[in-house]
Structure 1
Amino acid sequence: MIERILPDGVAAAEVFDDPPGVVLFPEEEAHVARAVAKRRAEFTAGRHCARTALAALGFPPVAIPPGEAGSPTWPAGVVGSITHCAGYRAAAVSTDVLSVGIDAEPDLPLPAGVLGTISLAEERETLAGLGEPAGGPHWDRLLFSAKESVYKAWFPLARRWLDFTEALIRIDRDGSFSATLLVPGPRIGGRPLTGFRGRWLADGGLLTTSVTVHR
């Protein structure tokens, strides 16, 4: 599913339930030793997906402990992203691009009050113009997912937090979206990063989004 919105050169793996028998590396185990069962299952399945995706690039099994701000610590020369939600876990990795961010969410409305805290007025106006087609996608949840993917692509490049209101997202019906940064971005190839392009997919009761920054 997630591979349908990722470009060539990005390997992905996904599962729709938690595979049994997955063993964590000691460095990973230390981060979830006291976690509740739900968090442990998400973390473990996410690492399983990450190692499966890395294997597609020719990498042996390695530990992928959380690093700065909780982001995964990848092998040298690799960029990647991990996501999980109810009934879905996935990872995407690459040695060909500068950064990649993915996110998955249930295709359901956001809880009451959340949209106002994670969006800009212009974004809410755009969502209202899209309407609510029967059977989804739920645009408010898709906006949230797009912002999550943007942040995951941003952080390895900028190494600092990006607030929900610091990037303006525009969702298009054709399965694409754009993000315009409202704060200064890092310089990429001698030029300041000013925004991102992404893709989205609604299928099987899930929403998935991706952002890739090419060299």
Structure 2
Amino acid sequence: MNGLLSTTGLLARVLPAEAETAETYADPPGLPLFPAEEAVIARAVDKRRREFTTVRHCARAALERLGALPGPILPGERGAPAWPEGVVGSMTHCAGFRGCAVAHAGDLRTIGLDAEPAAPLPDGVLDAIALPEERAALRRLGAGVPWDRLLFSAKESVYKAWFPLTRRFLEFHQARIELDPDGGFTATLLVAPPSTVTGPLTGFTGRWIHRDGLVITAIAVPV
């Protein structure tokens, strides 16, 4: 794998040992894609092509460490990655970062992962994605962390963890996030709890990190 790619970086700090991770801060040139992947982005602009290609480079590095055979990673329902049989995972990309985490389905039930630039949300976005009690909680938090962006990221991770378990859409306002300044967060689902193999799904817990100009959130649900 390309030397710009790390398997012991920020993602490993917010995910359990059962997850294999890989990440990079650049888009190495000349990365190959499978023909089926090429077909997906045949008409994509350069930015989309670079994101798509590099994050799959990360995914294949993580899958290799997991012992999975290489193959195309295609967008499935609602864009969720179609992982190999017996694997769960999540991918994320933003300006200056691409990353992936995968695990055996026998170890983790689902993974939700999101990376964002460590900058305040654009005007109007917080009101669109946050509940009144979440906005009030943000005002009580200290300086130094872009809490609004972190809240947004946590909600993205919630959706990425939720969808593989339920195959259902989840609105931003259907999960209430409580951010812990010490690096954790709790998500309470504000919908009728869907049934899963381990019982009703009522929420998630996750971890976050603010470093290197990024905020990253992650959820990993053990079996």
How would you bin the TM-score normalised by the shorter chain? over 0.9
2:219 equivalent among 198, 201, 211: 211
| 1:53 paired residue number | 62
Q: Which residue of 1 aligns with 2:19?
A: 10
Post-superposition Cα deviations, 1:51-105, rounded to whole Å, max 9, x if no partner, equal 0000011112211010011010000000000000000000000001000010000
Alignment of 1:77 with 2:76, yes or no, is: no
Q: Aligned match of 2:157 in 116, 130, 149? A: 149
Q: Describe the SS at the equivalent of 1:98.
A: strand
Amino acid in the other structure paired with 1:211? I
Equivalents in 2 of 1:115, 1:88: separation in Å? 23
Normalising by structure 1, we get a TM-score of 0.97
Provide the identity percentage.
Answer: 58
Residues 157 and 186, structure 1, Cα contact 8 Å, conserved in 2: no
**Alpha-carbon contact 1:158-1:185 (below 8 Å) kept:** no
The answer to whether residue 39 in structure 2 is matched with residue 30 in structure 1 is: yes
Q: Bigger shift: 189-198 or 30-39?
A: 189-198
- Can you give the 5+ residue segments of structure 2 that lack an aligned partner in the other structure? 1-9
Report whether the alignment pairs 1:195 with 2:206. Answer: no
In 2: Cα distance, 1:163 partner to 1:105 partner: 19
Q: Which amino acid aligns with 1:92?
A: A
Q: C-alpha separation between the residues in 2 aligned to 1:43 and 1:97?
A: 25
The equivalences for 1:66-145 within 5 A come to 66-95=75-104, 96-131=107-142, 133=143, 136-145=144-153
Across the aligned residues of Structure 1 and Structure 2, the Cα RMSD in angstroms comes to 0.9
Equivalent-residue separation in structure 2 for 1:7 and 1:189 (angstroms): 21
C-alpha displacement at 1:189, in angstroms? Answer: 3.6
**Structure 1 counterpart of 2:188:** 180
* Alpha-carbon displacement from aligned partner over 1:155-190 (angstroms, at most 9, x marks no partner): 000101110000000001010000000002332344
Q: Which amino acid in 1 is paired with 2:118?
A: D
What are the Cα deviations for residues 106-140 of structure 1, in whole angstroms up to 9, with x where unaligned? 00000001000001001001101103x1xx31000
SS in structure 2 of the partner of residue 76 of structure 1: coil
**Which segments of structure 1 move beyond 4 Å, counting only runs of 4 or more?**
none
- Count of paired positions: 212
1:168 aligns with 2:158: no
Give the TM-score of the pair, scaled to structure 2.
0.93
- Give the secondary structure class of the aligned counterpart of 2:22: strand
- Give, in whole Å, the separation in 1 of the partners of 2:76 and 2:55: 15
Query: Does structure 1 residue 65 correspond to structure 2 residue 50?
Result: no
Judge conservation of contact 1:19–1:45 (CA < 8 Å) in 2.
yes
